[in-house]
Amino acid sequence: MSPGNSCVESQESSGKGAGDTRVVVFCAGSLAGPLEEVKAAFEAEYPGINVILEPGGSVEIIRKVTEEGRSAGVVAPADCALIPGMMMPGHADWYIAFAKNRMVLACTGESRYAGEITAGNWYEILARDGVRWGLSDPDSDPAGYRALMVIELACGYHGRDRIFEDLIGAHSTITVTRKGGTSTIHTAGSSSDDTALFIRPGADDLVSMLLSGDLDYIWEYRSVAVQSGLRFIELPEEIDLSSADFAGDYAAVRVEARK
């Protein structure tokens, strides 16, 4: 989360109201639900302040500031590493990490093989004929490139080098190169075959497709799965990107996305 420039705006001076102050917050879609609760509590305590939430993809909300020249009181992407990489020093002076999450594989009771899938065989289930699964656009949404990182980490964890190729390489333009103990995933301009793998802009699209039965499984943050009332498979900490104890292992997988 980063404070933006020109943080607040008087509605009275802009002709929008009687003296209230607007605070604009650009936030990742996965944070919209929790921040709605924060907004309600904040406005109750400070009745003269009107908090405006504008959710979107994490890269998209940062570009609102860096490319479109828009002002926000707070910019809250899902990946705080995007702030020094895309906003500092010109558009932000500091940032703070205020929460953590983990990646899960979400499904419903109607998903194909929902009764069989486990933390130990999910990659085999996703590779079966007829199974349709999705992730968000890795060029604009951290959940998308984090899903790719999980799949690549699973190759080493399960001792099966072809997991990434079978699930991602065979069904999209996304590739991976491995050298010197480091994996680099190349995603720029990525597209999927939309037969087994479906890449969509963000969480809302994926959750809708899952609930409608168009998809069997989606990669999501655990918080989104809980908020959406979805079933999900929790993965080992070695690959779910949640634990500081395995930060060194996570760092061995890099993503070259379009930013």
Contact 164, 234 (CB under 8 A): no
Whole-model pTM: value is 0.81
Residues 157 and 210 in one domain: yes
In which band, very low, low, confident or very high, does the pLDDT at 98 lie, cut at 50, 70 and 90? confident
Q: Which of 53, 86, 119 corresponds to the end of one domain?
A: 86
Residues 162 and 48 in one domain: no
- 4, pLDDT greater than 70: no
Residues 71 and 107 in one domain: no
How does pLDDT run across 6-15, given as a tens digit for each residue? 334 434 334 4
Burial class for 108, CB neighbours closer than 10 Å (0-12, 13-18, 19+)? middle
How does pLDDT run across 25-79, given as a tens digit for each residue? 999 888 988 999 999 999 999 999 999 999 998 889 999 999 999 999 999 998 8
How does pLDDT run across 115-145, given as a tens digit for each residue? 999 999 999 999 999 999 999 999 989 999 9
In which band, very low, low, confident or very high, does the pLDDT at 2 lie, cut at 50, 70 and 90? low
**How many domains in the chain?**
2
Q: Judge whether 92 lies within some domain.
A: no
Count of beta carbons in the 10 Å neighbourhood of residue 136: 28
Q: Which of 55, 86, 117 corresponds to the end of one domain?
A: 86
Mean pLDDT of the chain: 91
In terms of residue numbers, what domain contains 40? 2-86
